[in-house]
Amino acid sequence: MARTRRPLIAGNWKMNGLEADALTLARAVAAGVKEAGWNDRELLVCPPATLVAAVAHAVKGSGLLVGGQNCHAKASGAHTGDVSAEMLKDAGASHVIVGHSERRADCGETDAIVRAKAEAAWRAGLLPIVCIGETLTQREAGETLEVLETQLKGSVPAGATAANLVVAYEPVWAIGTGKTPTVGEVAAAHAHIRKVLGGLTSEAAAVRLLYGGSVKGSNAAELLAAGDVDGALVGGASLVAAEFLAIAKAA
């Protein structure tokens, strides 16, 4: 891992957590961050929108970052049930996940929609984590690299830099299944992503690339040691403080 790229371990809580349990989890992670005194890596938790403000308040000053799981492309308006990037920023968020495969599949989000959301994040002063990844059908058809390239080119806005973009590679078939690609497959995917980024930004070598998909304490060290892997986007394991901190320690 290049020393110039500071590892980022991000926890996506998805649609999990009521306030009492969420604050207990957030405080436990924050305590772990404070105790470890890490200044060579960043930890981020992305709770449901209803909890962003409460979690941000609870962990303030600990060094633990807080983000949103999604945002609307517009700053405000008649968009019932949606949350703008500005609202997330106002609630205490510093990051936002955009284009997660569950949003792409369940909500029909296209690359163009993801791109607009990433631009919205910039507008609000948030750092977008742009997610890309292939399905099992696409992988078995040998289309992985092609799919990643298409999604990347369509989802990353013009003007991307190492300071305003994080990319997360999440093979759809590995999310929540317990299955993971081999370290070699992860390294190959990340190398290709970095190569494609070279055509989108002059700072491609410094953009952080996260791996996501059944990351846990037991496999984190191996996955994070793969070439061009600069951190992890963690799902289920981020709901257990000790497990999430173990992944962070592996970084």
Catalytic residues: 100, 170
Q: Is 176 annotated as a binding residue?
A: yes
Other C-beta atoms within 10 Å of 60: how many? 11
Distance between alpha carbon 8 and the CA centroid of its chain, in Å?
9
Query: What CA–CA distance (Å, rounded) separates 10 from 37?
Result: 17
Q: Is 12 annotated as a binding residue?
A: yes
Q: Is 214 annotated as a binding residue?
A: yes
Query: What CA–CA distance (Å, rounded) separates 144 from 204?
Result: 20
**Any idea which residue has 């962990």 for tokens?**
59
Query: What CA–CA distance (Å, rounded) separates 228 from 73?
Result: 30
37 burial class (0-12, 13-18, 19+ CB within 10 angstroms)? Answer: exposed
Q: Is 235 annotated as a binding residue?
A: yes
Q: Which residues are annotated as a binding site?
A: 12-14, 176, 214, 235-236
Q: Which residues are annotated as a binding site for substrate?
A: 12-14, 176, 214, 235-236
